[in-house]
Structure 1
Amino acid sequence: MTAASKITAMGLSDRAKRAAKVAAQYADQVDVEARFPKEGMDALKAERLMGVMIRPELGGEGTSLTEVADVCAILGQACAATAMTYAMHQIQIASLSDYAVGSAWHEAFLTRICDEQLLVGSATSEAGIGGNLRNSLCAIEVEGDTARLTKDATVISYGADADAIMVTSRRHSDAAHSDQVATTFLKDQYTLEHTSAWDTLGMRGTCSDGFIFKGEAPKEQILPRPFAEIAAQSMLAVSHLLWGALWYGIAADAVARAQAFVKAAARKSPGQVPPGALRLAEASNLLQQAKANVVAGLKQFENCKGDSDALNAMSFSVAMNNVKVGISQTILVIINHCMLICGIAGYKNGTPFSLGRHLRDAHSAQLMISNDRILGNTSTMLLVNKQDASLLG
């Protein structure tokens, strides 16, 4: 048995917990220095967790999205930057695995991801259209067997550290802004001209700098399915669910710190209920609701997977939108409760109960695909789509 097969024979959550332990040691440093979470990502690669969703015949483990979401939740309790980088990578893997079937180049690339534990980034945001991933200004140019693309990407998460980047663009120069394709470029096939720095309130370690992307690659690296199909049936739902899982992880760690604070207070005053105990119960209640929200969304996605009609249904889009909006709002309430429980010990940095990083990272949740944009899309769908009121739906 090879070293790699010995690792993959172990439980996924055990491997994730080992990687998370490493990531946690550097989480504060990653945040303060706004640097790529190299140690956490190297630990994930050592545990061979980068290609777990890829089909076994291509070298992966064929794990479900629910299992990958659990990895994201475990990482979220340790280092949000590591968790977000891993989640963003897996969003690209889901698109490549499900929407490039039969493409010899992409299947060979998926095998490379498993063999070499490559990190895949994405470039969907663009100057002029902001974070609306369903619109592009740039267009891929195909000449003979060669594809060329220049894109003014306002953010490319961990772009400088990715081994490959999946880039959206218009299908050709005369195509509508929404007529898009996605193209996978390898690191030696593109250049990145730095245009803006990622100096933010939270999620500082994702290093989502802005770049002028210039790539040239064989045209076979353009994904064969339209990006509209990939976005509607996979990318948006997978994004909301994996982000939701890691956001849940951030809140879960905040509650764990608040619980430790209350227990310490109880030990100091035997026979007395600490003042933060009631608020801790409220935070626990909200955390369970957040977990149920994500779990229900994952169950619905798994039930619909492979059924294009179900994935394209308005009811499915509404449900996935609600998962994202719901948990992104709830985690802020939870972490604020925990801050009040821990008091100055939670407000200060460098204590066992510090929650500043958690709160700052959590504020990104409402902005990553703006909740206002999502609610606007949901409100339009609800004008024609009946609200699902069944507990079994």
Structure 2
Amino acid sequence: MNTVSAHVVPDLNTRLTDVIDATEAHVAPTDHHAVFPVEALAALRSTGLLGLLVPTAHGGLGGRVRDLVTATQGLGRADMSVAMVFAMHCQQTAALVRYADPRLAAALLPRVASGELYLASVTTEAGKGGHLTTAHTRLAGSGSLLDIDRFAPVVTGGTHADGFLVTMRAPGDATEHEVSLVYAGREQLKIQEAGDWQPMGMRASHSVPLRLTGRVPAHQIVGPPGRFHEIAAEVFGPLAHIGWSAAWLGTAAGALSRVLRMLRSPAGRERFDVTSELLLTRLSRSRQRLDAVHALLQQALAAVESGADLSRPPRQLLLNSLKITASEQCLAAVDDLVEAVGLRHGYLKDSPTRLELAVRDLRSASLNYHNDRLHLADGRLALRDQGVTFA
């Protein structure tokens, strides 16, 4: 992938700390009211982290996918909603970097780098869920202008986005698998909220349903018309699974860290017997799950950074396995912690461990491009790899 670079991101940890501080200060109210974390987005803009994957030639930080993983894990320790918002924005950025028309890239990437342009993804559609490589709604128009009329039941951060990457069926007689990716700026669209957002977890992602209508120039199609499946295979899929898994791992690791700090504090030592075999066993299981996810994430990251063909079955299986495993094991790790520390610090909202929030947020992970769908795909891929080779 072209996001790989030898460039070292300047002051990544300092930039990240500023965003984490802004995030931590508003975790409780954004979750309680199910509102978008505008303070965290402002910090992502001001620190330049929105431009993490934008090449330095366009004014960005020139970061690698590995930097995305580092930043997303760090944000996940503070708030999984913010981590997911950030990871999905970077996924959109990577698609523009690799596939945008030169005119479009020149117009958009400096704005992303400066923090002016936060990107949202519009891939869900009524009747197909989040399935990436099909579309029911068709782009209209021909020649130099294209008309967009698109409803999406879930658009993460959409009401605060400055631009959108939208999947739609290509114009003409295209089939549902001939999907185009088109960029539309907020100024080019009429945006209508079509419902409310009151979920169990991931409340601060503010993933409301939206209807987008407008007209854009034809050069705002990203990549070859009707061939979004190539972008999905090379950018959208890999960065989704890696970015999401980093967010989930960060969330679970943050929960474990807060539990350990509580147990080692003077008050914790009075309340808990840290020599208890049951407590130690549950802590061990939680840590073991996270180490396993971390190892799989690093393996998948190495495969992506290698520049190898990601469409090969062993690599697709690895990336899908990462998503499935991370979504299940990070939730299980936090559940281990709930059992370890009990009702007061595992189940109640006012505990400094924030385990209750972590459980609610992580319960969404298996549903985010459903694991059942990935298992079906992996079964077909396994049949194509009779030698059982590994990426």
TM-score scaled by length of structure 2: 0.92
Quote the residue 2:288 is aligned against. 285
Quote the residue 1:111 is aligned against. 110
The one-character-per-residue Cα deviations of 1:151-208 (angstroms, maximum 9, x if unpaired) are 1211111111000001110111410001011110011101122222121111011111
Q: CA deviation at 1:28?
A: 1.5
The one-character-per-residue Cα deviations of 1:109-146 (angstroms, maximum 9, x if unpaired) are 11121124310001111112222121111111233311
2:269 to 263, 267, 270: 267
SS of residue in 2 equivalent to 1:277: helix
SS of residue in 2 equivalent to 1:196: coil
Ranges of 4+ aligned residues in structure 1 off by more than 3 Å: 264-267, 269-272, 386-390
1:276 to 272, 275, 279: 279
Q: CA deviation at 1:269?
A: 8.1
Q: Is the 8 A contact 1:257 1:352 kept in 2?
A: yes
CA pair 290-160 structure 1, distance change in 2 beyond 3 A: same
Aligned 1:1-393 pairs, distance under 5 A: 10-100=10-100, 103-225=102-224, 226-264=227-265, 267-268=269-270, 273-274=275-276, 276-304=279-307, 307=308, 310-344=309-343, 345-386=345-386, 388=388, 393=391
The one-character-per-residue Cα deviations of 1:21-65 (angstroms, maximum 9, x if unpaired) are 210111121111000011111111121100121111111122100
Q: CA deviation at 1:347?
A: 1.0
CA pair 9-288 structure 1, distance change in 2 beyond 3 A: closer
Q: CA deviation at 1:270?
A: 11
Q: Distance in 1 between matches of 2:170 and 2:84?
A: 29
The one-character-per-residue Cα deviations of 1:258-303 (angstroms, maximum 9, x if unpaired) are 2123323773389961452331122112111111111111111111
Q: CA deviation at 1:389?
A: 5.0
CA pair 107-337 structure 1, distance change in 2 beyond 3 A: same
Q: Is the 8 A contact 1:262 1:277 kept in 2?
A: no
Q: Is the 8 A contact 2:16 2:74 kept in 1?
A: yes
Task: Say which is worse superposed, 199-208 or 111-120, in terms of deviation.
Answer: 111-120
Q: Which stretches in structure 2 are left out of the alignment for 5+ residues?
A: 1-7
TM-score scaled by length of structure 1: 0.92
Q: CA deviation at 1:388?
A: 4.5
Q: Distance in 1 between matches of 2:177 and 2:296?
A: 31
Q: Distance in 2 between matches of 1:311 and 1:215?
A: 34
Q: Distance in 2 between matches of 1:235 and 1:206?
A: 19
CA pair 116-250 structure 1, distance change in 2 beyond 3 A: closer
Q: Distance in 1 between matches of 2:244 and 2:9?
A: 27
Q: Distance in 2 between matches of 1:136 and 1:266?
A: 53
Q: Which stretches in structure 1 are left out of the alignment for 5+ residues?
A: 1-7
Q: Distance in 2 between matches of 1:325 and 1:251?
A: 15
Q: Distance in 1 between matches of 2:323 and 2:9?
A: 33
Quote the residue 1:5 is aligned against. none
**Residue type matched to 2:59 in 1?**
G
Q: Distance in 1 between matches of 2:273 and 2:284?
A: 18
Alignment: residue pair count: 379
Q: Distance in 2 between matches of 1:157 and 1:272?
A: 41
**Residue type matched to 2:31 in 1?**
D
Q: Distance in 2 between matches of 1:271 and 1:136?
A: 56
Q: Distance in 1 between matches of 2:294 and 2:112?
A: 30
CA pair 269-127 structure 1, distance change in 2 beyond 3 A: closer
Structural RMSD (CA): 1.9
CA pair 188-300 structure 1, distance change in 2 beyond 3 A: same
Q: Distance in 2 between matches of 1:115 and 1:46?
A: 8
Q: Distance in 1 between matches of 2:181 and 2:137?
A: 12
Q: Is the 8 A contact 2:9 2:61 kept in 1?
A: no
CA pair 271-244 structure 1, distance change in 2 beyond 3 A: closer
CA pair 376-12 structure 1, distance change in 2 beyond 3 A: same
CA pair 125-272 structure 1, distance change in 2 beyond 3 A: closer
Q: Distance in 2 between matches of 1:270 and 1:326?
A: 31
SS of residue in 2 equivalent to 1:360: helix
Q: CA deviation at 1:10?
A: 4.0
